[in-house]
Structure 1
Amino acid sequence: MNISDKTAHCVKDTGGPLISSWLRRFGTSPGCDDDGEDIQAYASNSAKAYKSLQPSRIMIHGRVLALSAFVALAAASPTQLELGSDNAYCIVASGNQDGAPVVIQDCSTAAYDNRAWNISALPDRFPKGPEPIAVFGNKCLDVTNGNKVDGTKLQIWTCDSLNTNQQWILTTDNTFMSVNSTKCIDLTDGSKTNGNQLQIWECDGRNTNQRFFGVTAQGTAHSVYVEAGFIPGSTAERPVMVATSNADGAPVALATHNNFTGLYPGGNQTWFMQDFPGSGPITTYDGSKCLDVTNGNDANGQKVQIWSCVEGSTNQQWMKTPSGSSIQWVGHNKCLDITDGKQVPGTELQIWDCDENNFNQIFVPFQN
């Protein structure tokens, strides 16, 4: 179904009150069956809502709808390089500076920018390349000092099209061979410990330490506003999440969508956040400030704040929960929460134990 198609489709709510809340704004009508609340949604005016939903949460005519078709872009997406023997682990650049080690890391804890590699094409029946494997736009996967012997570690370095240390042949057995050598990217000692720096080693297509599969990197950051909370039966416009100012330590609170400056003259309702299942910072003020857990305190009721973004700060790492309905602090069973359930402008936000059934933890991003 193309998003320009104006044909009505019956969308059945399979995820509790959340889906109906999200789609109510795009129009409803009596549904197709008697199982739960059915919603009539038009593809032509629902594109923004679909971007916020997860495929497992919506069914059309009884079948799970793969939402990627609605949001696919014509341009090739950055590639996530997953370990063939365990796709929970990815090749990750540990930093954005020359010489930063290239390591193995749990994909779910690695920031999108550090694991999204630009590769022109993956192999099918024939090898591809030689070509660079780039990250951060201008850094390339690099054999340290060009020393193409077993055990040489991998790093990133500023891309140079003439540098053969940065040229790779993508083979049909899913190994990545350094040009002018018989050495391939290799998981050092076969260890999946986060931060284990990758190396090159004599190529062997049977060696599971050398097999990596490319998939579209999940977790693209989007400019969004975030609606908060849910009140059953209410059709009132929901408040949005607002940074009350750009000063370090400023609270994060609720305000009226597009009318927040009366309450917070220096506030901002525009955020940049990752698609599920991506994780990373949630930024505002053009990326200079981040949503931050005050003092890194994980006690229930701890307020969140705005703070200058610090690369790698664990207080500033967030992800959507599996249902897509809540925003969770990475590494903790704590979710963004509306204090005391007061879903009104002026209420500050806090963290609390994650609970998918808690309406105070529903935060729905819509693209600007």
Structure 2
Amino acid sequence: MLMDKRERIVVAMSGGVDSSVAAALLKEQGHEVIGMTMQIWDYSRFTAPDGKSFGTCCSLDDVYDARRVAEQIGIPFYVVNFEEAFQQAVIDRFCDDYFAGRTPNPCVLCNQVLKFERLLHKARELQADALVTGHYARIEYGQDRYRLRKGVDAGKDQTYFLYTLTQEQMAMVRFPLGGMTKEEVRGHAARLGLRVAEKAESQDICFVPDGDYVRFLEEERGAGQLNGEIVHVSGRVLGHHRGTYRYTIGQRRGLGLSWPEPLYVIAIDAAGQQVIVGEKQHLAVARLEVGDVNWLIPEPRRALRASCRIRYRHQEVPATITPLDDGSAEVRFDIPQAGVTPGQAAVFYTGDEVLGGGWIK
């Protein structure tokens, strides 16, 4: 998205190639650009055994990279400390969900609460015209409202994580990379000589840098309180487990069970401390319910046809979405879907436009 007048723009700089290119391109276009990085996690709480950096976002190395890029392109740079808000909104929710038998999606919450509430508030305090991030998505205005559309790079589209945006937020948020491919973005980084041009993609959850979320959960909440039985859908007890939070819907590996057919986790009953398993056919779900629905279109009063994505890497499928009186919605799939997981987001699309979404109950 090009801007045709000089504006004051705050760029959320994560230290990666995407946000760095966004900042550099806007500076190149003549805008007044301010770099801002969120400090959300105290990495002194985790020491890597080999001393190496993990491939996560928002690490101290990323903060340093963001600062150096800001210096390189000649823009002011600030670090804002959101550790307390991140703990309350993201980490506590992450732990609560796992200990309640859900599988959380912390990236949606981080975008919702940290970037597009708190960081946007900081941008307004600086009297900025816009808050820019490096997301692969597009915001367009037409017919009296803003529309959130997929990025043109289908493999990098990040609209799944952005369905909580409001009309007020979209009026000030911009995604200048939404019309580019990742290859084009790296090409700009090389052309501009940015030090992060070849930096690897961030992976995993930023506050679980070694990927061992079980260790993290037990450090936060303790171990042993959710030990129990592994139960077949028929009611037969097949074994025992050391915590329901160790399992997620659709999981096959690590069950340690002997059975004539492959078994999958079908459900998690945290209250009863049971992990329910069954054959593959038991994974298929014809309907689900989502709560805390956010509509990016005028809130519908009756059922509508749309496509639904139930995980970030899930291909959205045709469904009927029925709004319910309590602000939730029912989703009925044309074809039953495997891997429907409470705690994940379900996002609704028509073509490349996001209609809304909510949390799978």
Query: TM-score range with shorter-chain normalisation?
Result: under 0.3
Structure having the higher helix fraction is: 2
**Higher relative contact order, chain-length normalized (CA < 8 Å, sep 6+):** 2
TM-score by length of 2: 0.24
Query: TM-score by structure 1 length?
Result: 0.24
Larger radius of gyration: 1
Higher strand proportion = 1
